[in-house]
């Protein structure tokens, strides 16, 4: 299976039209159609359904699109890294991160690196742990910044000396808004909005004092911006980490939770992974930053 043909398929999936995809690829429509048919024959699955005006992906096509995107991205990154293997350090570093105010310390490390290595570029993607680790496992990220439980058998890591605290985001006219500190028991009969990551954290529901089935969980989120909109519309109380939402000048307020529950942060990467020079530079700079007591 050729990388070039995967790129052809991705162009068709993006344009949803073989003629437009052929134009963007500088190919004739018959040539592109033959390449797609050959790809389907090689795989033994139908990937697209050809309509009069647009094409749609089959279930197998949607799965293949995800894998093709990963393979093409990884191939391009590998080519860039091999090209930039000289003495002057250049390269691309891809970092997946959970939402945390402590990420600002990673940005400080990035700024330090860029002062001496302007050819190193950083790409951050936010998400929850399961999505981020899936992309790390598939080679699309060099590092992930996560809080909570880490599988030490699969990942090398640097433990960061920062802790994140849980609290509750709610409307200022909500029933619990007058409390300086909200008890976890106060939430037992309230509509809750939880992060997807928290649902899988060891001991999270034991800390809350009720199982997931016993609570009124309105919904879950992976990025707190959407959760804040839900709270603003009165959909429920959002359990979130502190310092992620600026409530000044809004209808929202943030209250700490009691008893407290702190999470440690980690920078993780795959065990036995051969790092690029740029990635090695990042690890060295991070260790140097932390050794200074930052």
Pick the CATH number of 163-263 from 1.10.580.10, 3.40.630.40, 3.40.190.10, 3.40.50.10800: 3.40.190.10
Q: Where are the alpha helices (DSSP H) in 117-253?
A: 129-137, 196-199, 204-208, 224-232
Number of neighbouring beta carbons within 10 Å of residue 245: 21
Q: Distance between CA 25 and CA 6 in Å, rounded?
A: 12
Task: Phi first, then psi: give them for residue 256, nearest 5 degrees.
Answer: -70, 155
| Three-state DSSP state, 152 | coil
pLDDT confidence of residue 193: 97
Rg (CA), the chain: 23
Q: Distance between CA 256 and CA 169 in Å, rounded?
A: 9
The tens-digit pLDDT sequence of the chain (294 residues) is: 788 888 888 988 888 888 888 888 888 888 988 998 998 899 899 999 988 788 889 999 888 888 888 888 888 777 766 665 555 678 889 999 988 889 999 999 999 999 888 889 999 999 888 889 988 988 889 999 998 888 888 899 999 998 889 999 999 999 999 999 999 999 999 999 999 888 888 899 999 999 999 999 999 998 899 999 999 999 999 999 999 999 999 999 999 999 998 888 999 999 877 788 889 999 999 999 998 876
E strand or H helix that includes residue 8: helix 3-15
| Three-state DSSP state, 249 | coil
Distances (CA, A) of 30 to 5, 21, 33, 34, 107: 14, 12, 5, 6, 49
Q: Find all residues with CB under 8 Å of 129, minimum gap 6, and list them.
A: 98, 144, 146, 148, 197, 200
| Three-state DSSP state, 263 | strand
Q: Find all residues with CB under 8 Å of 124, minimum gap 6, and list them.
A: 95, 96, 97
Pick the CATH number of 3-81 from 3.40.50.140, 2.40.30.10, 1.10.10.10, 3.30.465.10: 1.10.10.10
Pick the CATH number of 87-161+264-291 from 3.50.50.60, 2.60.40.1930, 3.40.190.10, 2.40.30.60: 3.40.190.10
Q: Is the pTM of this model over 0.75?
A: no
Domain boundaries, the chain: 3-81, 87-161+264-291, 163-263
Q: CA geometry: angle at 19 spanning 16 and 21, to 5°?
A: 60
| Three-state DSSP state, 202 | coil
pLDDT one-digit tens code per residue, 187-241:
999 999 999 888 888 899 999 999 999 999 999 998 899 999 999 999 999 999 9
Is there a common fold for 87-161+264-291 and 163-263?
A: yes
């Amino acid at each position: 299976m050729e990388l070039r043909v995967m790129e052809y398929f991705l162009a068709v999936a993006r344009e949803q039209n073989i003629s437009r995809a052929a134009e963007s690829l500088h190919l004739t429509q018959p040539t592109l159609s033959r390449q797609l048919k050959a790809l389907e024959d090689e795989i033994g699955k139908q990937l697209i359904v050809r309509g009069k005006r647009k094409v749609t992906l089959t279930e197998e096509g949607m799965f293949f699109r995800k894998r093709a995107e990963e393979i093409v991205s990884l191939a391009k990154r590998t080519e860039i890294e091999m090209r930039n293997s000289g003495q002057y350090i250049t390269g691309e570093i891809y970092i997946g991160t959970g939402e945390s105010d402590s990420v600002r310390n990673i940005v400080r490390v990035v700024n330090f690196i860029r002062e001496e290595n302007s050819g190193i570029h950083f790409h951050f993607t936010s998400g929850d742990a399961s999505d981020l680790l899936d992309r790390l496992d598939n080679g699309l990220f060099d590092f992930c910044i996560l809080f909570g439980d880490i599988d030490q058998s699969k990942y090398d890591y640097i433990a960061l000396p920062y802790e994140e605290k849980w609290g509750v985001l709610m409307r200022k006219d909500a029933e619990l808004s007058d409390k300086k500190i909200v008890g976890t028991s106060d939430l037992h009969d309230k509509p809750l909005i939880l992060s997807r990551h928290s649902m899988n954290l060891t001991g999270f529901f034991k800390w809350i004092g009720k199982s997931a089935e016993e609570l009124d969980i309105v919904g879950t989120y992976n990025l707190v911006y959407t959760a804040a909109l839900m709270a603003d519309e009165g959909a429920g109380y959002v359990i979130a980490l502190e310092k992620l939402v600026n409530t000044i000048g809004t209808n929202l307020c943030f209250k700490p939770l009691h008893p407290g529950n702190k999470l440690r942060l980690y920078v993780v990467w795959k065990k036995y992974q051969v790092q690029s020079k740029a990635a090695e530079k990042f690890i060295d700079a991070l260790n140097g930053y932390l050794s200074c007591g930052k």
